[in-house]
Structure 1
């Protein structure tokens, strides 16, 4: 008991041993992966974060170590000292497979119960079990590879930004709630009873204040918090690579970040990103792909058929167009023979996106088959096929609705759904695109006011400022997202730095001057003292690491993530607190 290392020192990691170490005496430390007792010999696979090394114990090597080795079980934590020798039976599947360690002495640091999950690559276990025993899950070699990648990516980012004259600076975790976005996590104050801090959704306001402070190139890799319902690949706490620059324009931010992405993806994954990255205005992205984060690894673009069917007898089409909506389609190549049951499932799929139905035209070898053919003239049918560039064997899938966003979103989702179903996506492909010229504002019908699409500090495009009074829905933002394979990697904007324009923005958002100062007074006050033109960008670092590590689950790249209910099965957080803690805060739980 209590002996600890007693001067014993590890001389090399398990996975680093090779033929050139033959004849050397080394000390390795790690965990028992497995043990095989062959009578006169005991073989142990010893694992640390660099890999596995075979250790052999024998009566002729060292009797005491041999007897001790027979008591070893999986996940015992041990140290072994001995000579490196050539293996009689090499294992070409592991880097250390040409050598083994003759166990001349062994020290058991700690024993282990039978683990509730296997410590192996490609584990197939329930997610909540993996999260409950996350410290064991993290021992697995494939998980350790991911966190080596995460470390390497963070280092490359830091080095690149340092070389480009950025300063790494921290911003507060306890700040003021400014609920103009997702829901804040609130922290009660003991000293100011009845008042709350908020955990930051992003460092947005503080990084703008740093620009006012004259730190013209700032970055940090930081935690952010959002109390929102968790969809796929969302976590309540996540990590951003956050940056802000002064005296720049949109092109400067985008060009710098293209170089950053090129360096990260080349050095971590060996992928060459061709520069410059394609730029696509938001309106084109929505009209062609039904998404502001389009996956460009396959075609199947959306086609507008409104002009071709505006006079058709089919009331569903006519009514949609007459009420200001549209009729649009995607083409599934060589799918004309798709069965009715499968098409019915596609109809059910688009209905989850508020589409009322899905019309279809199968351009088969022998005939054109469609339940809407009787409502279309021969000319209208020909025009549809021509507009979709359809060939024999193709299937046209059509959505019509008085609301264009319903048409585009449902077809955009159907496009992705079909691409996966038809295996059109090359997982080794990496298609980057900048989405630009986002709408600055959207109208919230429930609150009967405009709201910021990004945040209230995003600058409008210069030529659109006139529309802030005339028609705010027409105003485009100096905003840009970087998208990879249908996922938003990061986004940013040029900020408003002129007080009058910022006041106008708050006015359009329905804020009184008093309300604007109540929420954002410290920023507005700072803007009275010579703010520079500035803008920035933030990456979802966890999402970036997902791509670099080749996983599609964000929980794989976060050391101790929450489950889909924002609960930690390991620590059982959130949980109740002692009554005296509530009393100190001047709070009580409402039953």
Structure 2
């Protein structure tokens, strides 16, 4: 199978792929100078690309004098093209923390493709740089392995989603971004039309109208990894611009949709390396609201709501009995481990309960 990442480019190997089996191979690598060390005549450079990094050794006896002079003055994040021979590091010099730790590349040519000023933060994982600095230097931040892994994971999930839906007879249709405004519940972003003064396009909250047109038009099974825009205040799970997988099906019952999507998610999670048990738990909406007070509950959380309405009916405690007489319900949460909380801490929860729609909160501690 052809490794296309090393075709149509200036390198014939990546910085993260070389292993002991490649010893003796003549290679050309391209990447960024990560760590540079001058050991009194021998210069070591960790060359990094998106796949990882390889140690390069520049020996004055193996490169032209001009190239060795370049290596003496390498700065961090210089863009380099290195040609050399893969050699064994030897048992005493193996670095077990590197995927390429058993080998190194003895350079025969050093080509500086571009110089760089010293970056404002270290190009590695686990940095404590504030987000404002990272956003200002976003192109440098994207070189960090964890940022690349985030982008690669998103790619993996999107491709797995496409493959799973393609296998199930769906076709991907790209719907327009500039369209007329449709009443859906959230505010639209508006884009002025230069050729039509005083008129505006609306960016889609989601491709709802277009999905309906596709179904009426006989497409039957459609999907799209769609960009959506909502001119609304930020929420914990929503931002002004986001991506969603849009799916529409015709001639189906609700169990058909759930069964199909469960199979799709099984394949997508497997592709992303996530372990999960299938079949998925299913719960009617009413049960979810009764037990958790939420239609998308995290069932791992525990502390489920338990209704006490019938138990406290006519109990004589006005807070409860009057609520029941008014047609309301009384529910409780068994907060195990909170029996030794202070009175002040517990009563703060009354404000939390009220903020979430409760008329009040009573409590009892059982220690």
Q: TM-score normalized by structure 2?
A: 0.91
CA shift digits 1:373-414 (9 cap, x unpaired): xxxxxxxxxxxxxxxxxxxxxxxxxxxxxxxxxxxxxxxxxx
1:55 paired with 2:59, answer no
Taking only aligned residues, the RMSD between alpha carbons, in angstroms, comes to 1.9
Using a 3 Å threshold, how does the CA distance of structure 1 residues 272 and 302 change in structure 2: closer, same or farther?
A: closer
CA distance in 1 between partners of 2:316 and 2:247 (Å): 55
Using a 3 Å threshold, how does the CA distance of structure 1 residues 126 and 105 change in structure 2: closer, same or farther?
A: same
CA shift digits 1:117-169 (9 cap, x unpaired): 32111222222322222222211101111111111111111112211121111
Q: Which structure ranks higher in relative contact order (CA pairs < 8 Å, sequence separation ≥ 6)?
A: 1
The equivalences for 1:575-586 within 5 A come to none
Aligned-pair CA distance for 1:249: 1.6
1:183 paired with 2:205, answer no
1:235 paired with 2:236, answer no
CA shift digits 1:218-239 (9 cap, x unpaired): 1111211111101224221111
Counterpart in the other structure of 2:219: 215
1:15 paired with 2:16, answer yes
| Partners of 1:221 and 1:239 within 8 A in 2 | yes
Using a 3 Å threshold, how does the CA distance of structure 1 residues 348 and 72 change in structure 2: closer, same or farther?
A: farther
The equivalences for 1:36-435 within 5 A come to 36-62=37-63, 63-88=65-90, 89-275=93-279, 277-355=280-358, 357-364=360-367
Aligned-pair CA distance for 1:313: 3.7
Aligned-pair CA distance for 1:307: 2.0
Counterpart in the other structure of 2:27: 26
User: Structure 2: which 5+ residue stretches go unaligned?
Assistant: 1-7
CA shift digits 1:188-211 (9 cap, x unpaired): 112222121101111111111111
Counterpart in the other structure of 1:510: none
CA distance in 1 between partners of 2:344 and 2:119 (Å): 46
Q: Secondary structure at the match of 1:295?
A: coil
| Partners of 1:265 and 1:273 within 8 A in 2 | no
CA distance in 2 between partners of 1:132 and 1:292 (Å): 39
CA distance in 2 between partners of 1:113 and 1:318 (Å): 73
User: Structure 1: which 5+ residue stretches go unaligned?
Assistant: 1-6, 365-591
CA distance in 1 between partners of 2:133 and 2:361 (Å): 41
CA shift digits 1:36-87 (9 cap, x unpaired): 2222222111111101111111223324333211211111111111111112
CA distance in 2 between partners of 1:203 and 1:180 (Å): 11
CA distance in 2 between partners of 1:40 and 1:288 (Å): 71
| Partners of 1:310 and 1:317 within 8 A in 2 | yes
Q: Secondary structure at the match of 2:126?
A: coil
CA distance in 2 between partners of 1:180 and 1:245 (Å): 20
The equivalences for 1:492-531 within 5 A come to none
CA shift digits 1:456-482 (9 cap, x unpaired): xxxxxxxxxxxxxxxxxxxxxxxxxxx
